Structure 1
Amino acid sequence: MDRPHFIDAAAFDQLLANGHSTAGGDTIDPPPVVKLFTPDANATWLLTEIDPDDEDLAFGLCDLGLGMPELGSVRLSELGQLRGPFGLPVERDLYFTANQPLSAYAAAARAQGRVIA
């Protein structure tokens, strides 16, 4: 799979490195590498890793704006095709810098019913 337009090469490499650590049996709780969002909807994804055996499959905190954020997997190709109600594509938050591990973002999101990042 080609790297999606909304993830730069450095972030893709870090996501893949985290995926290799997990695939190797390491238990890790890294900070999110990227924050993706729909500018015309309430969906947000904080991604920590990409499956090294399927580079289209990413893992992180997924919030579709329904009040039930959850940890899970998402297909990058599907995010690349996703459009909000005004037709805007998924974007990367260029100003996001993670300051805590994914588990902390997940706990806060469950308490608030949405991703706070």
Structure 2
Amino acid sequence: MHQILSDLQLRRLLDNGRRQQDANNTGEKCRMVPQAYLHLPRSPSSSWLLASIDPGDHYMAFGLMTIAGAPPELGYVRLSELATLRGYREQGVSHDPLFDDARELDILEYAEMAKLEGQIVLVFDEKVDPDEIKRELGWE
């Protein structure tokens, strides 16, 4: 369905969307941990930290985003539009593998940190060596 998301990410994002919808119906708060961190390589870059997908519209995702270097903001994005974007050397939107090791914080916590830092910031419990990750992925 969505080439930019794995089946597991899609399932988790939909689960978050359903939980958020249920919480909205009952007036409760819902903790939403982002399930995908997508980026588009370009100068300046764009990125999307996705927390949920609308259960009624599987192409509408909610999360924290920064577009072409603009300040980060919470909002909605159509996954079908993300799939058509092209950045540096015609590369499309892709999942950032570093996100898999990031701490599971609520999207609102990530939004608060992004507001202070002026960009989306991932939090790790362990020190991550970006060069080691690049070697593991064959990017060098």
TM-score (norm 2): 0.76
Q: Specify the alignment match of 2:65 in structure 1.
A: 62
Distance 1:29 1:45 in 2: 18
| In the alignment, structure 1 residue 111 sits paired with structure 2 residue 109 | no
Shift of 1:103: 1.2
Shift of 1:30: 1.8
Indicate the structure whose relative CO is greater, using CA pairs within 8 Å and at least 6 residues apart. 1
| In the alignment, structure 1 residue 72 sits paired with structure 2 residue 75 | yes
Q: Specify the alignment match of 2:34 in structure 1.
A: 32
Structure 2 unaligned regions, length at least 5: 123-140
Structure 2 residue matching 1:54: 3-state secondary structure: coil
Shift of 1:85: 4.1
Matches within 5 A, 1:44-55: 44-55=47-58
- Decide which structure has the larger Cα Rg and report it: 2
Q: Do the aligned partners of 1:43 and 1:63 also contact (CA within 8 Å) in 2?
A: yes
CA pair 107-65 structure 1, distance change in 2 beyond 3 A: farther
| Matched AA of 1:22 | Q
| Matched AA of 1:71 | L
Aligned residue pair count: 115
Structure 2 residue matching 1:81: 3-state secondary structure: coil
Q: Do the aligned partners of 2:41 and 2:88 also contact (CA within 8 Å) in 1?
A: no
RMSD: 1.4
Residue deviations 1:46-89, cap 9 Å, x none?
00100000000000001113341000000000000011143110
| Matched AA of 1:62 | M
| Matched AA of 2:20 | T
TM-score (norm 1): 0.90
Structure 1 unaligned regions, length at least 5: none
Structure 1 residue matching 2:97: 3-state secondary structure: coil
Runs of 4 or more above 2 Å deviation:
none
